[in-house]
C-alpha cells in the first residue's frame, strides 16, 4: 500500500521499499501488488522499475467516491472553523498541518477547547509516535493533528473528518 512512496519519498522516507524486488528472487512464484491512490504516470513507471515488475496489470478508477464529500472553506479564523467542523464530526478526525510546530500548537488549542487531541510529526521519537498513534486508534484521543508523516497505511473505520489547513505540496 502507498506504493508511490517508493518513488516520491522512498530514498529516505521508506528506504526498505527499494529492496522489495529482492523478494522475487527468494520466492519467484509470489505475486506482488502495488497500491496507490495518487500515483502519476511518471510515478507508476518508477514503481514498475523499482519493484522490477514484469508485465504489470494496471487497475485504475475515479477519485469519485459516493461515501466522501470534499469541501473548501475560506475563513479568517482557521481555528474557529476547525472547532465548528469538529463539533459536527461524528467519529475520529485527522487534521493535517504544514509544520511540526503547527501540530503542537493546534493540538494545544483544541485541547484547551475541550477536544481530546494528540499530535504526530516526523521529529518525534518512535516511542512518542507509537503512543500518540495508539491513543488515537483506541479513541482515547478523538483528534490527531499531524504533518504528512502520519497517514501511511492507516486503517481506522470511524474517521469521519479529514481537514487540511494548508494546501498539500503534492
Divide the 170 residues of the chain into consecutive groups of 10 and give the mean pLDDT of each group: 71 70 84 83 88 86 81 94 95 94 97 96 93 96 93 83 83
Q: Is this model's pTM higher than 0.75 or not?
A: no
Specify the pLDDT at position 46.
Answer: 87
pLDDT at res. 13: 62
> Which three three-digit cell numbers place residue 23?
523478494
User: Is residue 159 helix, strand or coil?
Assistant: strand
pLDDT computed for residue 162 by the predictor = 94
H-assigned helices in 13-156: 22-26, 41-50, 78-88, 100-112, 126-137
Q: Is 9 exposed, middle or buried (0-12, 13-18, 19+ CB in 10 A)?
A: middle
Interatomic CA distance for residues 163 and 95, integer angstroms: 5
Amino acid at each position: 500500500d502507498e506504493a508511490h512512496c517508493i518513488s516520491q519519498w522512498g530514498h529516505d522516507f521508506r528506504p526498505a521499499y527499494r529492496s522489495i524486488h529482492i523478494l522475487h528472487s527468494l520466492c519467484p512464484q509470489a505475486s506482488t501488488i502495488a497500491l496507490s491512490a495518487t500515483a502519476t504516470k511518471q510515478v507508476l513507471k518508477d514503481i514498475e522499475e523499482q519493484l522490477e515488475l514484469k508485465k504489470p496489470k494496471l487497475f485504475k478508477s475515479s477519485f469519485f467516491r459516493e461515501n466522501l464529500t470534499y469541501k473548501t472553506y475560506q475563513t479568517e479564523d482557521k481555528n474557529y472553523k476547525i472547532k465548528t467542523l469538529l463539533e459536527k464530526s461524528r467519529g475520529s478526525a485527522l487534521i493535517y498541518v504544514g509544520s511540526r510546530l503547527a501540530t503542537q500548537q493546534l493540538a494545544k488549542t483544541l485541547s484547551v477547547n475541550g477536544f481530546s487531541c494528540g499530535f504526530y510529526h516526523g521529529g518525534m521519537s518512535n516511542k512518542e509516535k507509537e503512543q500518540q498513534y495508539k491513543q488515537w486508534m483506541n479513541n482515547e484521543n478523538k483528534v490527531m493533528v499531524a504533518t504528512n508523516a502520519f497517514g501511511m497505511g492507516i486503517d481506522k473505520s470511524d474517521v469521519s473528518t479529514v481537514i487540511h489547513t494548508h494546501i498539500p505540496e503534492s
